[in-house]
């Protein structure tokens, strides 16, 4: 089975075989259409409503009854029986379930052991040691596959379609940006990753973005959250959001999970408390929320957390980095005994990994760290000096492969000239052993914010000259931006 697709027969092969199509026994619905996204030993798969679905095939002849249910026939009618149901007798060959051919001589004897569950069952506790992105497979986000399929349906250029098809093979983060989305997407994707893990025998890593703090994105308007900066919503954040995530993570203990924690939040605490009233109002909730979630998630051995540190043109200046060291050290200590693996940079941003054309000077407002590589090199030293013991990084390369048209490096909304960047990869830079991974955290094609000046969530940056227009609300699909990102991909797709 292809390693990057989280579909498996091993999770539920002995379930009742009377479903409308093979996928129902595996915990996935039947497709309403016939578009094939992926084919494996189970059958043909499509994607609808952000989830995998099975495409029903014409039933096979009775002599090979199991193929109509998505499983091969056993090589012999005398194969050992591991399970029996209304369809027939099941055996196991080559690590997969198979149907024992029916003969006129009647049944064959054997045991009735084997799995009877309809979903994969978590196994023994897994413990992350070192870089969580290393020596694992990356889970593919089915919701993004669905979005890309929708984008392809709007294209006519065959070369562009080929590039878009490749996008479906790469992993990106799953954003838990509301309580409702968390309830819909967290466990379903943990289950999908577990199924893939049981099928392939390799550990499968899923990356989630925890993103629902009260007063979220206090210095912006385009991505404000559902919870307000007050005590009541803080309680909801803890009990309806963090506690629920914790429960699911504890259940799925046999697989590695990475959490990208609250993008932009602590960076705002470094730079915007004194100038932005909404950030001052959110301060206590940001700190309290981080302390709470670090205590909850940071003690789970199969979970690694990365706190967000903005990007080079936010915290890159010397005084900002010095202040950041104090803020992040305090936050991490407040979550003891929970542990934090490290930090993530450039989330949803466009700053190139390396930009040799920029140096400390008037053009960069005397920023000594005008690209993400120099930023992380400096932050590693400063965070170590601040007493932070675990300083590792995940850099978002989802949209920084091509230098954008922005006139100031601080521009952040739907930038023209966008290009997909380096592919998700563990330990990507020789000599930077503290860089755990390049990873696609913000999915290319999802808008940063609306350009509609009459909209409640309109942010001025989305109306700037270098922001692509017209643009939909944050998180909605932005076809033109996606297509430009494909064309400008570096390395090319």
86 assigned binding-site residue: no
* 178 and 316 together in one domain: yes
Tally the domains of the chain: 2
pLDDT in tens, 446-473: 999 999 999 988 988 999 999 999 999 9
Q: What is the 3-state secondary structure (H, E, C) of the chain?
A: CCCCCCCCCCCCCCCCCCCCCHHHHHCCCECCCCCCCEECCCCEEEEECCEEEEECCCCCCHHHHHHHHCCCECCCCCCCECEECCCCEEEEECCEEEECCCCCCCCCCECCCCCCCCCCCCCCCCCCCCCCCCCCEECCCHHHHHHHHHHHCCCCCHHHHHHHHHHCCCCECEEECCHHHHHHHHHHHHHHHHHHHHHHCCCEEEEEEECCCCCCCCCCCCCCCCCCCCHHHHHHHHHHHHHHHHHHHHHCCCCCEEEEECCCHHHHHHHCCCCCHHHHHHHHHHHHHHHHHHHHHCCCCCEEEEEECCCHHHHCCHHHHHHHHHHHHHHHHHCCCCCCCEEEECCCCCCCCCCCCCCCCHHHCCCCCCCHHHHHHHHHHHHHHCCCCCCEEEEECCCECCCCCCCCCCCCCCECCCECCCCCEECCCCCCCCEEEEEECCCCCECCCCCCCCCCCCCHHHHCCCECCCCCCCCCECHHHHHHHHHCCCCCC
Does residue 289 surpass a pLDDT of 90? yes
CB-count burial class (<10 Å; 0-12, 13-18, 19+) for 58: exposed
Does residue 4 surpass a pLDDT of 50? no
User: For all residues of the chain together, what is the average pLDDT?
Assistant: 86
**What CATH number should be reported for the domain holding residue 46?**
3.90.1220.10
* 45 and 144 together in one domain: no
Does residue 393 surpass a pLDDT of 90? yes
pLDDT: which is higher, 7 or 303: 303
189 assigned binding-site residue: no
Which residue range is the domain that position 39 belongs to? Answer: 20-59
User: Does some domain include residue 236?
Assistant: yes
* 176 and 322 together in one domain: yes
172 assigned binding-site residue: no
* 361 and 265 together in one domain: yes
**What CATH number should be reported for the domain holding residue 456?**
3.20.20.40
Does residue 379 surpass a pLDDT of 50? yes
> Of 187, 216, 254, 207, nearest to 457 (Cα)?
216
User: Does some domain include residue 132?
Assistant: no
480-483, Cβ contacts within 8 angstroms, sequence gap of 24 or more: 481/414, 481/418, 481/444, 481/445, 481/447, 482/151, 482/164, 482/444, 482/445, 483/151, 483/155, 483/160
Instruction: Give the pTM.
Output: 0.78
Q: What is the pLDDT of residue 308?
A: 98
Q: What is the pLDDT of residue 226?
A: 92
Which range (220-234, 309-323, 382-396, 451-465) has the least confidence?
220-234
pLDDT: which is higher, 203 or 17: 203
Q: What is the pLDDT of residue 208?
A: 98
* 50 and 199 together in one domain: no
* 221 and 352 together in one domain: yes
* 448 tagged catalytic: yes
* 149 and 267 together in one domain: yes
Which range (28-42, 112-126, 164-178) has the least confidence?
112-126
Beta bridge pairs of residue 172: 440
Which is the catalytic residue, given 233, 308, 396, 448? 448
pLDDT: which is higher, 100 or 324: 324
* 358 and 223 together in one domain: yes
311 assigned binding-site residue: yes
* 40 tagged catalytic: no
User: Does some domain include residue 97?
Assistant: no
User: Does some domain include residue 322?
Assistant: yes
Residue recorded with tokens 């593919």:
140
d(CA 118, CA 228): 40
* 213 and 349 together in one domain: yes
Which is the catalytic residue, given 217, 233, 264, 355? 264
Q: Decide which of 10, 30, 59 is a domain's last residue.
A: 59
Q: What is the pLDDT of residue 116?
A: 25
Does residue 420 surpass a pLDDT of 70? yes
Sign of the dihedral defined by the CA atoms of residues 441, 27, 62, 74, in that order: positive
Q: What is the pLDDT of residue 97?
A: 76
d(CA 430, CA 415): 30
> Of 41, 425, 2, 37, nearest to 200 (Cα)?
2
Mean pLDDT, rounded, for 134-163: 95
Does residue 86 surpass a pLDDT of 60? yes
d(CA 164, CA 156): 12
Count Cβ atoms below 10 Å from residue 247 Cβ, excluding itself. 12
Mean pLDDT, rounded, for 109-129: 60
User: Does some domain include residue 15?
Assistant: no
Reported as a pLDDT band with limits 50, 70 and 90, residue 100 is confident
User: Does some domain include residue 177?
Assistant: yes
Reported as a pLDDT band with limits 50, 70 and 90, residue 112 is very low
290 assigned binding-site residue: no
408's CB contacts (< 8 A; 6+ apart) are none
* 55 and 153 together in one domain: no
446 assigned binding-site residue: yes
Mean pLDDT, rounded, for 236-240: 97
* 288 and 406 together in one domain: yes
314 assigned binding-site residue: yes
Q: What is the pLDDT of residue 2?
A: 30
User: Does some domain include residue 76?
Assistant: no
Count Cβ atoms below 10 Å from residue 64 Cβ, excluding itself. 16
97 assigned binding-site residue: no
* 334 and 240 together in one domain: yes
Does residue 109 surpass a pLDDT of 60? no
The percentage of the chain sitting over the pLDDT mark of 90, rounded to a whole number, equals 67
CA atoms within 13 A on the CB side of 7: 26
User: Does some domain include residue 293?
Assistant: yes
pLDDT: which is higher, 100 or 213: 213
> Of 241, 250, 125, nearest to 185 (Cα)?
241
């Amino acid at each position: 089975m292809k390693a990057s697709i989280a579909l498996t027969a091993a999770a539920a092969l002995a379930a009742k075989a009377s479903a409308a199509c093979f996928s129902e026994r595996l915990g996935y619905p039947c497709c309403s259409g016939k578009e094939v996204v992926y084919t494996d030993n189970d059958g043909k798969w499509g994607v609808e409503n952000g989830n995998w679905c099975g495409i029903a095939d014409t039933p096979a002849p009775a002599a090979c009854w199991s193929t109509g249910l998505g499983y091969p026939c056993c090589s012999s009618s005398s194969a050992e029986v591991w399970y029996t149901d209304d369809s027939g007798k099941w055996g196991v060959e080559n690590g997969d379930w198979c149907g024992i051919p029916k003969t006129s001589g009647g049944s064959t004897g054997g045991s009735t052991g084997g799995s009877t569950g309809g979903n994969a069952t978590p196994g023994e506790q897994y413990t992350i040691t070192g870089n969580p992105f290393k020596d694992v497979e990356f889970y593919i986000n089915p919701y993004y596959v669905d979005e890309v399929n929708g984008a392809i349906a709007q294209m006519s250029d065959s070369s562009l379609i080929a590039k878009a098809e490749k996008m479906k093979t790469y992993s990106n983060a799953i954003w838990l940006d509301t309580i409702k989305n968390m309830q819909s997407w967290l466990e379903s994707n943990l289950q999908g990753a577990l199924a893939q893990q049981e099928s392939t025998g390799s550990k499968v890593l899923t990356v989630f973005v925890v993103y629902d703090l009260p007063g979220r994105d206090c210095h912006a308007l385009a991505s404000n959250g559902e919870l307000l900066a007050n005590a009541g919503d803080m309680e909801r954040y803890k009990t309806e959001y963090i506690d629920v995530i914790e429960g699911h993570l504890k259940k799925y203990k046999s697989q590695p999970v990475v959490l990208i924690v609250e993008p932009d939040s602590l960076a705002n605490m470094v730079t915007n408390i004194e100038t932005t009233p909404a950030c001052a109002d959110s301060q206590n909730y940001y700190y309290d929320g981080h302390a709470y979630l670090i205590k909850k998630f940071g003690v789970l051995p199969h979970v690694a957390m990365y706190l967000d540190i903005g990007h080079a043109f936010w915290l890159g200046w010397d005084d900002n980095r010095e202040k950041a060291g104090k803020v992040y050290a305090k936050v991490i200590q407040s979550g003891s005994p929970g542990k934090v693996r490290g930090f993530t940079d450039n989330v949803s941003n466009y700053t190139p990994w390396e930009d040799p054309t920029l140096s400390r000077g008037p053009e960069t407002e005397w920023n000594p760290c005008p690209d993400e590589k120099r930023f992380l090199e400096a932050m590693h030293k400063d965070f170590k000096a601040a007493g932070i013991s675990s300083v590792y990084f995940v850099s978002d390369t989802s949209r920084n492969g091509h230098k954008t048209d922005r006139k100031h490096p601080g521009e952040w909304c739907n930038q023209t000239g966008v290009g997909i960047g380096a592919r998700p990869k563990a330990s990507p830079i020789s000599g930077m052993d503290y860089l755990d991974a390049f990873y696609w955290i913000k999915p290319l094609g999802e808008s940063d914010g609306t350009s509609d000046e009459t909209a409640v969530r309109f942010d001025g940056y989305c109306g700037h000259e270098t922001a692509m227009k017209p643009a939909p609300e944050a998180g909605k699909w932005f076809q033109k931006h996606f297509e430009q990102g494909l064309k400008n991909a570096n390395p090319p797709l």
